[in-house]
Amino acid sequence: MELDGPTLMDATAELLDVGPRLVGTPAEVEATDVVVRLFQDAGMQDVRREAFVWDAWQPGTAAVEVAGARYPAEPLSPTPPLAGVTGLLALETDADVTDRIVIATSAGTSRGAQALLLRAAGAAGMVRVSERHDDEDGGPLVEVGHTFVGVRWPSLAVDADVGAELRAHVGEPATVTAASEVLEGHTSWNVVGDIPGTGPGLVIVTAHLDSWHLSESAADNALGVGAMVVMARKLAEGAWPTATVRFVATGGEEQGLQGALAYVQAHPVEAGSAQLLLNLDVMWSPEGTFVVMSDEDRWTDLALDTARAEGIQGVDGGSPNPSSDNFPFQIAGSPAFWAGRFGWREYHTRSDLLERLEPEEAAASLRVQWAVLASEAYGPR
């Protein structure tokens, strides 16, 4: 079992065949079926689906209307259906944004922080401009995602071309509409499987199987699911680990860590007593910095040393940040590790494609993740 580029790409491609894996679509069900099969084929035992019920969200179409023109937009989760919210267009740098539809930029802070700040400042809504063009075709990109606002406040994303049009109309009345939809009582699934240990101890590995709707979402996060499959095969084919290694492919991550939250709620003792929570999310991407985030210094040192030996200069990012599946487990009490190459400006766009992944570099990240996993799975508790 080699932790090499072709092996990792093969495992990743299986989930990509499903296409975008948006919650609430048939592809979500298909993706869980594929992961069940991949987990079983990898040699995991007791592979199961764990259902959870929540209010999922569907984007639908959206638009910004100003000066008689209608521009296409993408709603950001959890924007509600908008029959038409009207306000004067403003810039986020304006002193007073009360009741304004504010044009924000992706070049600034995160979409979640922007939405929170603008809502607190009394804005009627946000139109966030994705300041990015595709590396290959040069076309403008729209970045979608969740705002973490926690309320259904109007937030839309537009591409840079639309953004330029809108900025020419600051001070004029604009109307935002969205055909987004809330799927009340929607059922999603986590897929769980084990490589049983010969002794006590538990390591939990998480990677989300869902994605946004604009692309097959290779780096975010079919790659993480592929890495889980490869690591499970290596454990199953090699020496039996001391600790049980539990693999949890989560659903609903993109809309606020729903699967991880559900898992922790269903298994509070176990989720809070893992010796390592290893989260795989954007473990590699075509651009950015390899950031090692860890709750234990020994994992930080091991990961940075392993990365250096692979020719990757990583940086110590401190404790894993709360934007991915690690966070509910950390709150429950388990120390976490999350490393990936972050800063890619094409994530959550139509450009997150398998062909953009760098197989050998992604495999180097996989070997870093494996070193940390193995240090606990085979090590004394």
Residue ranges binding Zn ion (CB under 5 A): 220-221, 281
CB of 32 to Zn ion, least distance (A): 17
Shortest reach from residue 286's CB to Zn ion, in Å: 15
CB of 202 to Zn ion, least distance (A): 24
- Shortest Cβ 207–Zn ion spacing (Å): 8
CB-nearer residue toward Zn ion: 28 or 281: 281
Compute the least distance from the CB of residue 120 to Zn ion, in Å: 26
Give whichever of 27 and 89 is closer to Zn ion, judged by the CB atom.
27
When the beta carbons of 159 and 352 are compared against Zn ion, the nearer one is 352
Is residue 349 within 8 A of residue 130, CB to CB? The reply is yes
In the sheet that holds 276-279, the strands lie side by side as 45-58, 181-195, 244-250, 202-208, 276-279, 336-342, 289-294, 315-316
Minimum CB distance to Zn ion, residue 327 (Å): 13
What span, in angstroms and rounded, lies between the C-alpha atoms of 130 and 158?
Answer: 6
Return d(Cα 35, Cα 366) in angstroms, integer.
19
Q: Which amino acid, residue 12? A: T
Buried b (16+ CB within 10 A) or exposed e, 217-248: bbbbbbbbbbbbbbbbbbbbeeeebbbbbbbb
> Which one, 157 or 243, has the nearer CB to Zn ion?
157
How far is the C-alpha of 254 from the C-alpha of 348, rounded, in Å?
A: 10
Q: If we measure between CA atoms, which residue out of 307, 124, 143, 119 comes closest to residue 214?
A: 143
Q: Given the complex with Zn ion, which of 106 and 221 has the nearer CB atom?
A: 221
Nearer to Zn ion, 188 or 275 (CB): 188
What stretches of 209-312 adopt beta strand conformation (E)?
244-250, 276-279, 289-294
Encoded tokens for 125? 């809504």
